Chain A
Amino acid sequence: MLSLPTAYCAACIVGVEGSLQQLPGVRSARVNLTLKRATIEADHDVEPQELADFLTSIGYEAYELDTGVLSSTATEKSSRDLLMRMGVAGFGMMNVMLLSVAVWSGATDATRDLFHWVSAAISLPIVAFSGQPFFKSAWASLRVRRLNMDVPISLALILASSISIYETANSGRHAYFDAAIMLTFFLLAGRYLDHRTRAVARSAAEELAALEVPRAHRVLADGREEVVSVNEIAVGDLVRVVPGARVPVDGMVEEGESEVDRSLLTGESLPVFAGPGEMLSAGEVNLTGPLLIRVAAAGKDTSLHRMADLVAMAETSRNRYTSLADQAAKLYSPLVHILALSAFLAWLWISAGDVRLSINIAVATLIITCPCALGLAVPAVTTAVSGKMFRQGMLLKSATATERLAQVDHVVFDKTGTLTEGKPRLDNIGDHTAEDLAVALALAQGSSHPLAQAIVNATQGEGIRAARISDAKEVPGHGIEAVWSGQPVRLGRAEWLGAKGIDRTATYLKIGKRPAVAFTFTDNLREGAAEAVASLKKQGMKVTLISGDAHAAVQDVAFRLGIEDYRAAMLPEDKVAAVEALSAEGRQVLMVGDGLNDTAALAAAHVSISPATALEATRVVSDIVLLGRSLEPIGGSVALSRSATKRIRENFGISAGYNVIAVPIALVGFATPLAAALAMSLSSITVSLNALRLKG
């Protein structure tokens, strides 16, 4: 299974499938353009990574997906199941409606009875089959002595069907078969929309997770290396981590020297030295030299996973949130039941004991108030809003995230990797002589270290040519040394050069016996960060910056973005405490962060956003994932979610409005099956149209 993020056209299908099938060992290849994936059947010895590289080389960007993480089959099955029930209900509805039209337009006596019997024969089995999701959910909630939206639905379906049979058997005038089956169809439509929105979000989230195929290079006793899945690594194994790779396990360095980037775990932007005896945690990135690590903890025991405990504690606060739909159901269910029951009792008293008439009126009340529109009110809007957000590059993972996002009045940002790219930029190029810069460029060219790369980019941007050096050698963990016009030159850490370090992200250049000069760096702001902060402030929200990084670096970023409230050197627990303190003040906090150190704070916040570059553990706890590089959509998303919540409320208002008109009619006994059918379809259509008016 490969992911093809850039496939979009018919030519891509032909190109990918055709070229894959010409490869040796590939049996079949099939592109799914909707999911942007390719499923390939191949012989056992064909490596997925090779296929992905091959596709990328011919112009179709491709990544390997870990099939174990994709559980799409279960989701697909239940979605297909819902679609089938909806299809059946739709089929029955059309047939029964045709028969009902005849009854409404004045069929009498034997004809009417015949039509009623035919309707019964069609609708009873179909309601029993298609209504199962509602019956099951209603039963589950009744068993724990609670009322949800499905209880009145199920009750209405069962009562309407039974009273209609009774009426038909007694040649009565009104039968509600059409209403029962129509209700099933509309409600299933709402349920299906809801399910699809969530399935799309879940499959996209799973795909992000499946993109990180966790592999490790295990070194065997005889010195050979093998590539294994991280799950197979045991404590005590030796693992090799090449420069540029993420450390897959917790462990101690046995051999080799390098620098590691801890920014995802702690928020520190300055790389840390790692040599024999140093402890490393899973998730850190090895920068310069190869390291041999003795595994201390792997898989579920790594510090990465232990962070989950902190998250679980923080998350309980969020579970207390009741969605708008639940609030409406809580209000609605008892009200409807009381109404129907009182209608029954009142008519029993008025008609002096005519049970048949009283039940008829009670059922009419139940059907007319039935939450057709209520059932569609939320799914229609969520479908519209998640589609809009997806096009803006935001993946809505939680169903209630929109509602919660709409309430936000305080935004907390993390610095490293969120507001900044985590990529340094040389900022004091003007302080150096052209000669120094030329030497620095020559030294830096040979290294893949981020600071070296930053020097290369900056100096080449100034049009500087590299000096001629010889014997260049990278000393992993320390820097690069070489010989330039007969004197030794070194570029690297302060301690290695014997220079005095300054309190900034910096690297140092020493030429011969001259004192070392410092190259200082600032972190590049992420694209759209300034726009997002400005737009949030314009909407009247407070913005806070909380980072685990050193004070100077945090202050600099806060100053550049115009954030007055910033806190530096915060531990993960401090971040949670800060978010919780804001919530205690009555603020609804939106937390935006990417690091593992933000994870608990993300879970504690009212609603949370993380970029796609974040670790999987972080993406799991956040409600919204930013798919693109830019932060800009955050500004608009709050406005969009406010508009969506407004639409949901309007939809509740509309369905309540229909009820205000229809219920009195039903209560006084004028409701006919025709009136019920009209009220139901009209309200459902208005609600769906209203959802489509969503702006943003």
Chain B
Amino acid sequence: MNVLVYLIPISILLGGVGLAAFFWTLKTQQYDDPDGDAHRILRDEWDDAPPED
């Protein structure tokens, strides 16, 4: 069972990475315009991330 000693920290770390990514999406306002983003991703031209206001 010694494998647990490093498997548990690794799994928590990976979860933490996911959590950090979630925080990042919140902070960069990626939930403000779900409908618009769904359309924007299909566009040919380069579209920058939403402006921070």
- Across the interface, which residues of B come within 8 angstroms of A33, CB to CB? 33, 35-36, 39
Partner of A10, one of B15, B23, B42: B42
Contact with B along A20-57 (1 / 0, CB 8 A): 00000000101111110001000000000000000000
- Across the interface, which residues of B come within 8 angstroms of A84, CB to CB? 22-23, 26
> Interface size bucket, B side?
20 to 34
Contact with B along A165-194 (1 / 0, CB 8 A): 000000000000000000000000000000
Partner of A94, one of B8, B15, B36, B50: B15
Please report the C-alpha to C-alpha distance between residue A111 and residue B26 in the assembled complex, in whole angstroms: 37
- Across the interface, which residues of A come within 8 angstroms of B50, CB to CB? 30
B51 vs chain A, min Cβ distance (A): 6
Please report the C-alpha to C-alpha distance between residue A91 and residue B20 in the assembled complex, in whole angstroms: 10
Partner of A30, one of B1, B39, B45, B51: B51
Partner of B26, one of A39, A80, A95, A114: A80
Please report the C-alpha to C-alpha distance between residue A87 and residue B24 in the assembled complex, in whole angstroms: 12
* Interface check A656, CB cutoff 8 A: no
Are the C-beta atoms of B26 and A87 separated by less than 8 Å?
yes
Are the C-beta atoms of A83 and B1 separated by less than 8 Å?
no
Please report the C-alpha to C-alpha distance between residue A560 and residue B23 in the assembled complex, in whole angstroms: 60
Are the C-beta atoms of B26 and A83 separated by less than 8 Å?
yes
* Interface check A354, CB cutoff 8 A: no
Are the C-beta atoms of A10 and B33 separated by less than 8 Å?
no
Are the C-beta atoms of B11 and A31 separated by less than 8 Å?
no
Please report the C-alpha to C-alpha distance between residue A118 and residue B7 in the assembled complex, in whole angstroms: 12
Are the C-beta atoms of A14 and B36 separated by less than 8 Å?
no
Please report the C-alpha to C-alpha distance between residue A35 and residue B29 in the assembled complex, in whole angstroms: 14
Which residues 58-84 in A have Cβ within 8 Å of B in the complex?
A: 76, 80, 83-84
Are the C-beta atoms of A34 and B36 separated by less than 8 Å?
yes
Chain A contact surface mostly:
helix
- Across the interface, which residues of A come within 8 angstroms of B53, CB to CB? 39
Please report the C-alpha to C-alpha distance between residue A31 and residue B15 in the assembled complex, in whole angstroms: 34
Are the C-beta atoms of A34 and B22 separated by less than 8 Å?
no
Please report the C-alpha to C-alpha distance between residue A523 and residue B32 in the assembled complex, in whole angstroms: 44
- Across the interface, which residues of A come within 8 angstroms of B32, CB to CB? 32, 34, 76
Are the C-beta atoms of A111 and B22 separated by less than 8 Å?
no
With known contacts A13-B36, A13-B39, A13-B40, A80–B19 Cβ distance under 8 A = no
- Across the interface, which residues of B come within 8 angstroms of A14, CB to CB? 43, 45
* Interface check A98, CB cutoff 8 A: yes
Are the C-beta atoms of B22 and A87 separated by less than 8 Å?
yes
B13 vs chain A, min Cβ distance (A): 11
Are the C-beta atoms of A91 and B26 separated by less than 8 Å?
no
Partner of A88, one of B19, B40, B45: B19
Are the C-beta atoms of B51 and A10 separated by less than 8 Å?
no
* Interface check A338, CB cutoff 8 A: no
Partner of B18, one of A31, A91, A122: A91
Please report the C-alpha to C-alpha distance between residue A32 and residue B50 in the assembled complex, in whole angstroms: 10
* Interface check B31, CB cutoff 8 A: yes
Please report the C-alpha to C-alpha distance between residue A95 and residue B23 in the assembled complex, in whole angstroms: 17
Please report the C-alpha to C-alpha distance between residue A185 and residue B4 in the assembled complex, in whole angstroms: 27
* Interface check A9, CB cutoff 8 A: yes
- Across the interface, which residues of A come within 8 angstroms of B15, CB to CB? 91, 94-95
Please report the C-alpha to C-alpha distance between residue A122 and residue B19 in the assembled complex, in whole angstroms: 13
Are the C-beta atoms of A122 and B12 separated by less than 8 Å?
yes
Which residues 103-125 in A have Cβ within 8 Å of B in the complex?
A: 111, 114, 118, 122
Partner of B35, one of A34, A76, A80, A95: A34
Are the C-beta atoms of B33 and A32 separated by less than 8 Å?
yes
Please report the C-alpha to C-alpha distance between residue A9 and residue B43 in the assembled complex, in whole angstroms: 11
- Across the interface, which residues of A come within 8 angstroms of B18, CB to CB? 91
Query: Knowing that A13-B39, A34-B36 are A-B contacts, what are 6 other residue pairs whose CB atoms are under 8 Å apart, sorted by A's residue number?
Result: A10-B39, A28-B51, A34-B32, A80-B26, A87-B26, A91-B19
CB-defined A-B contacts under 8 Å, sample of 22: A9-B39, A10-B40, A13-B39, A13-B43, A30-B50, A32-B33, A32-B36, A33-B33, A33-B35, A34-B36, A80-B26, A83-B31, A84-B26, A87-B26, A91-B15, A91-B19, A95-B15, A111-B1, A111-B4, A118-B8, A118-B12, A122-B12
The interface of chain B, by Cβ under 8 A from chain A, is 1, 4, 8, 11-12, 15-16, 18-19, 22-23, 26, 31-36, 39-40, 42-43, 45, 50-51, 53
| Pairs of residues from A and B, 8 with the lowest C-beta to C-beta distance, nearest first | A33-B36, A10-B39, A33-B35, A32-B33, A34-B35, A91-B19, A34-B33, A87-B22
